[in-house]
Chain A
Amino acid sequence: MQIRLNGKTREVAEGITIRRLLDELKLHPMRVAVQRNQDIVKRDRYDEVVLQPGDTVEILTMMAGG
């Protein structure tokens, strides 16, 4: 199925959870924030939130800034 991930279309497995997505992307859950369809997904819900086709997902982290 397809989702929008950080502004780009991406193919992911059906029924993928946020946790699995982060694993696939080799991202440390403690270093990111995840927003799904405009709502922030709390870290303790990464295992239970299952992505749906067409979801818009944003994964953010701390970057340099003033």
Chain B
Amino acid sequence: MRDGATLKFGGKEFHSRLIVGTGKYPDYPTMQKALEASGTEIVTVAVRRVNLDRKQESLLDYIDLARYTLLPNTAGCYTAEEACKYARLAREVGMSELVKLEVIGDPRTLFPDNEELLKATRTLVKEGFIVLPYTNDDPVFCKKLEEAGAAAVMPLGAPIGSGLGLRNPHNIRIILEQAHVPVIVDAGVGTASDAAIAMELGCDGVLMNTAIAMAKDPVLMAEAMRKAVEAGRQAYLAGRIPKRLYASASTTMEGMIE
């Protein structure tokens, strides 16, 4: 039973179990309101070139660093070497050892290259990073990442940005049974019920971006996701009834007139 009151990894503790990305919002003020509505305490960011041609608003002007922990990603990296470089650059900008480690293997599916991912995890753990790897819903591989020192494992529910929900909840259950580190479903969530399902299974958290940012009303969806994650967590802790094929009356037959 994963019944901790808080989400803990790498010596840090969080009350919210929802991690939210900062990409794809219509504008920064909407993002800011959505983050607020989501109740999140951890937001993902990317490391990219400063735009020198035109004055840009800075993302960091819209993120209260006293309130949110930045989780830099290595999105767009295709090799362990490249991902490690981005992690180190992120540490340099963000003054944090946290990294959402992504090593992509294929541009259409954005599925991870697990071989490179494992290599990068080992390297970064050695360098003192708190590594949160994005990986497949593969129990064997999640175990390997844990053994390599990952602070949590983040299996995908479905491809990034697909909104297909948890395609293989059974694998997620096996991962949960085996893991001694937090399990955070990263990617695939489309709507509130998807997040609730992940949490009902016993996941320690859910990470999402597109489902909120690309919703018609991102702020309202962010609030829905907060409630879904909380509801799913409560349902997990409460312990659901077993499924059964036939009915079981809620009202007694006793006391009926003859």
Which residues of A pack against B, CB within 8 Å?
Answer: 5-8, 25, 27, 31-35, 40, 42-43, 58-66
Alpha-carbon distance between A66 and B35 when the two chains are bound, in angstroms: 13
Instruction: Give a binary string over B31-50; 1 marks a CB under 8 Å from any A CB, 0 the rest.
Output: 10000000000001111111
Partner of B58, one of A6, A31, A34: A31
Please determine whether A65 and B21 come into contact, CB atoms closer than 8 angstroms. Answer: yes
Which residues of B pack against A, CB within 8 Å?
Answer: 21-25, 31, 44-50, 52, 58-60, 70, 72-73, 75, 88-90, 92-94, 160-161, 209-210
Q: Using Cβ atoms and an 8 Å threshold, which residues of chain B touch A63?
A: 45-48, 59
Q: Using Cβ atoms and an 8 Å threshold, which residues of chain A touch B209?
A: 65-66
Partner of B47, one of A5, A6, A43, A61: A61
How many residue pairs link A and B with beta carbons under 8 A? The number is 89
Please determine whether A33 and B52 come into contact, CB atoms closer than 8 angstroms. Answer: no
Please determine whether B92 and A42 come into contact, CB atoms closer than 8 angstroms. Answer: yes
Alpha-carbon distance between A61 and B22 when the two chains are bound, in angstroms: 14
Given contacts A40-B89, A40-B92, A59-B49, contact A65 B23 (CB under 8 A): yes
Q: Using Cβ atoms and an 8 Å threshold, which residues of chain B touch A35?
A: 89
Q: Using Cβ atoms and an 8 Å threshold, which residues of chain A touch B59?
A: 62-64
Please determine whether A40 and B88 come into contact, CB atoms closer than 8 angstroms. Answer: yes
Q: Which B residue's beta carbon lies closest to that of A35?
A: B89
Partner of A66, one of B48, B93, B210: B210
Please determine whether B93 and A33 come into contact, CB atoms closer than 8 angstroms. Answer: yes
Alpha-carbon distance between A48 and B164 when the two chains are bound, in angstroms: 51
Please determine whether A62 and B89 come into contact, CB atoms closer than 8 angstroms. Answer: no
Given contacts A64-B22, A65-B44, A66-B44, contact A7 B73 (CB under 8 A): no
Given contacts A40-B89, A60-B89, contact A66 B21 (CB under 8 A): yes
